[in-house]
Amino acid sequence: MAVLSILKYPDPGLSSPCLPVTVFNDALRQLAGDLLDTMRAAPGVGITAAHVGVLTRLVVLELPDWLAPRTYVNPELLWHSDETKVHTEGSVSMSGALEEVERPSSIRFRYQDLDGVAHEEEASGFYAICIQHEIDQLDGVFWLKRLSRLKRDRLVRKWQKQTAG
């Protein structure tokens, strides 16, 4: 496996929608393994193929209380609760920039595994937030777009100062 180069904000690739995976093969498994290595090196808890410039619907998550990382191919939201939760979010493409984002606290989603087998799952709390964050990225919605213009502009300026110095 390899650590890949992560696109940095405001790279246009981070605003590009990803295409569905149609071929489930060793190259997909290799990419998933490389994403895991890249995410761990960043470090982060989630990463998409889009973060490394591959516009395909592939997500790797590894949450702190899990025994093993998980891979999601072609994930899509099916339902979300009306109840919301505010959580601090960031991105491997914008290291060090954090801000609170409000999202539905529970979701139901569908995805395929690396063999193409379909699954449906419910998630709540931090897990639900992570899945929504990564699906947004696959849809070309970088997490900053979930912030008010004022918060977004302030955060971008602060981040640019940190990365310039």
- Per-residue pLDDT of 82-128, as tens digits, reads 999 999 999 999 999 999 999 999 999 999 999 999 999 999 999 99
Asked if 6 contacts 42 with a C-beta cutoff of 8 angstroms, the reply is yes
Q: Which residues are catalytic?
A: 134
Predicted pLDDT of residue 76: 97
How does DSSP assign 99-112, residue by residue? Answer: EEEEEESEEEEEEE
Q: Which two tokens stand for residue 157?
A: 């300026």
Predicted pLDDT of residue 165: 65
The DSSP 8-state label assigned to residue 147 in this structure reads S
The CATH code of the domain at 12-164 is 3.90.45.10
List phi, psi (to 5°) of 68: -150, 155
Predicted pLDDT of residue 87: 94
